[in-house]
Amino acid sequence: MTTQPDDTQQAEAGTEQVHDLRSALERLRRHPGQLIETDHPVDPIAELAGVYKRIGAGGTVARPTQIGPAMIFNGVTGFPGWRVLVGLMASRKRVGLLLDAPPERLTHRMTDAYRNAIAPVDVGPDKTQCQQVVHRADEDGFDLRKLLPAPTNTPDDAGPYFCLGLVLSSDPTGEKGTDVTIHRLCVQSKDTLSIFFAPGRHIDAFRKKAEAQGKPLAVSVNMGLDPAVYIGAEFEAPTTPYGYDELAVAGGLRGRPVELTRCLTVDQRCIANAEVVIEGEILPDVRVAEDQNTHTGHAMPEFPGYNGPANPALPVLKVTAITTRRDPILQTLVGPGEEHVSLAGLPTEASIYNACDKAFPGFVSEVYAHSSGGGKFLAVMKVNKSSDFDDGRARLAAMVAFGTYTELKNVILVDDDVDIFDTNDVLWAMQTRMQGNLDIIAVPGLAGHVLDPSQTPEYDPRLPAKGVTSKTIFDATAPYALREKMFIRAPFRDVDPRPWAPQLFGQDGQVADGEAPAPGGDAPVSRPKANHQG
């Protein structure tokens, strides 16, 4: 193990602008209720995730759960000196704070970043913080199971997982550049991980090219990052086609390029200010059962909310080095939680909005990738009808959404008087502006996502393969010709309520202390303060 001095750490941690994980945490510390720390000891095996399930996981996690603060565990059993962060992006409101946008405008913020992308740049050792501490696999005593506190989400997991490992690799032929994606990585031995690729992932295409040549694929696994990097990396084809480097979206979000540096033991690059980097190679023609060490039959909880089956044959990543910052923070997530909704959902929203805006400028004004679909399966789309013709245009916009984001399963269309972030308002529109025999359109036999257990031939024998599904449009918009006659909402007078209930409202007219539910389900977790004004 070697170390380098951390002479820039303190200065950078206090800067206002977010540029890495530590500056993101500093920003949250200035917003009460967004980040908590605990020194109480916690076991990374099932206990850590079990604690956060109750505090702030949200998403498709089994109830009881809620939207709550991000959390840093400073006392991780068996790993002195390590801190584990969970839930950094597990709130749309919190992501808005970190990406400099109101939560209801994050779709447009992501769209602008995609349209104004800035490619990453290479930097030298003087700007490389991720290699302040170096562990090489060719050294005696190297065991990643003892070096890194990889958690498990449940007692049934196949093993410890790195759930926020951003894998970076390059096309071995040099034709298609570099790609980054988050994949589930299960610890298999002292120096190996299994890696799961959903169908169509670009790094898997790189792996197959290398394997066809009998060669390993060099990768870096980057953890503990500026949230802009994680979220920008989740754009998918066709929005970011094969060969597109998604790190450019993070550059667009921050207005400056992501900085990369050379790995120490493989011919690859890594993110220079990452908290943790795993260097290694995906081996050709080597496969391993995901649960070979536990035989639980399960993998880990994925975004639909289920413990999926362990994969019987996954590619193997041979670890060659682990590098970290001094006093490192391992970042993780609760698999089905609201953090996945932010990671996957915001790029989903921006991709759909961008495609629809190109096809029908101004017609689709808002898109929300709903938490119940893990940010992938369900989109609520607000359309702005101005003629009878737009009754058909709304449904066509839903078809554009399906073509833009392959894994999308259901679309709910609503009018411009509906709050797409308020599930009760969306369900109200479905109850009063939709007839099942007229306004539900199902399109069978389309490509979907293999992690949905209903998208299997076992569920429906008519499906030809796992990951094929029926996609559905729920048109909860009022027919344009009838809007003024039958579908005008009751016109309440707009009154400032503060003179009557000052204890409930701040000076800006909003519920005091930020306790109003924010877009994406940030429900209040405390009671309004009493009125002490006499």
| Res. 134: pLDDT tops 60 | yes
| Res. 528: pLDDT tops 80 | no
Q: Both 348 and 448 in a single domain?
A: yes
* Active-site annotation, residues: 302
Q: Which domain holds residue 203?
A: 2-10+119-333
More confident residue, 498 or 533: 498
- Percent of the chain scoring above 70 in pLDDT: 92
Q: Both 229 and 159 in a single domain?
A: yes
pLDDT in tens, 383-422: 999 999 999 999 999 999 999 999 999 999 999 999 999 9
Residue 25 domain-assigned (yes or no):
no
Provide mean pLDDT across the span 76-94.
98
Q: Both 450 and 349 in a single domain?
A: yes
Residue 376 domain-assigned (yes or no):
yes
pLDDT in tens, 336-377: 999 999 999 999 999 999 999 999 999 999 999 999 999 999
pLDDT in tens, 465-479: 999 999 999 999 999
Q: Say how far apart CA 192 and CA 371 lie, in whole Å.
A: 33
Residue 106 domain-assigned (yes or no):
no
| Res. 228: pLDDT tops 60 | yes
The confidence score (pLDDT) of residue 140 equals 86
By mean pLDDT, which of 12-16, 67-71, 346-350, 488-492 is the weakest? 12-16
Residue 92 domain-assigned (yes or no):
no
Q: What's the mean per-residue pLDDT of the chain?
A: 92
The confidence score (pLDDT) of residue 7 equals 39
Residue 72 domain-assigned (yes or no):
no
Number of domains composing the chain: 2
Provide mean pLDDT across the span 164-180.
94
Q: Both 269 and 302 in a single domain?
A: yes
Q: Both 347 and 438 in a single domain?
A: yes
Q: Both 314 and 349 in a single domain?
A: no
In the listed set 305, 333, 361, which residue is the last one of a domain according to the structure?
333
Q: Both 244 and 345 in a single domain?
A: no
Q: Both 299 and 414 in a single domain?
A: no
Q: Both 354 and 325 in a single domain?
A: no
Among 413, 350, 394, 402, which residue's Cα sits nearest to residue 377? Answer: 402
515 — pLDDT class (breaks 50, 70, 90): very low
pLDDT in tens, 373-392: 999 999 999 999 999 999 99
In the listed set 333, 358, 373, which residue is the last one of a domain according to the structure?
333
The confidence score (pLDDT) of residue 198 equals 87
Provide mean pLDDT across the span 177-200.
95
Alpha-helical segments (H) within 369-414 = 390-404
Report the CATH number that the domain containing residue 321 is assigned in CATH. Answer: 2.30.110.10
Q: Both 290 and 166 in a single domain?
A: yes
DSSP letters along 161-173, please?
Answer: EESS-EEEEE-TT
Residue 363 domain-assigned (yes or no):
yes
pLDDT in tens, 421-454: 999 999 999 999 999 999 999 999 999 999 999 9
Q: What is the Cα Rg of the chain in Å?
A: 24
Residue 30 domain-assigned (yes or no):
no
**10 Å Cβ neighbour count for 74?**
15
With 0-12 / 13-18 / 19 or more C-beta atoms within 10 angstroms meaning exposed / middle / buried, residue 393 is middle
Fill in the amino acid letter for 323.
Answer: T
Stretch (H or E) spanning 411: strand 410-414
pLDDT in tens, 455-466: 999 999 999 999
Q: Both 257 and 366 in a single domain?
A: no
Report the CATH number that the domain containing residue 417 is assigned in CATH. Answer: 3.40.1670.10
Answer yes or no: are the C-beta atoms of 179 and 205 closer than 8 Å.
Answer: no
Say whether 229 sits in a helix, a strand or coil.
Answer: helix
Say whether 444 sits in a helix, a strand or coil.
Answer: strand
Answer yes or no: are the C-beta atoms of 474 and 412 closer than 8 Å.
Answer: yes
Q: Is the dihedral of CA 504, 508, 513, 517 positive or negative?
A: positive
| Res. 61: pLDDT tops 80 | yes
505 — pLDDT class (breaks 50, 70, 90): confident
Q: Both 188 and 283 in a single domain?
A: yes
Residue 475 domain-assigned (yes or no):
yes
| Res. 531: pLDDT tops 70 | no
263 — pLDDT class (breaks 50, 70, 90): very high
Q: Say how far apart CA 409 and CA 236 lie, in whole Å.
A: 16
- Percent of the chain scoring above 90 in pLDDT: 87
Specify which residues 287 forms β-bridges with: 315
In the listed set 333, 363, 395, which residue is the last one of a domain according to the structure?
333
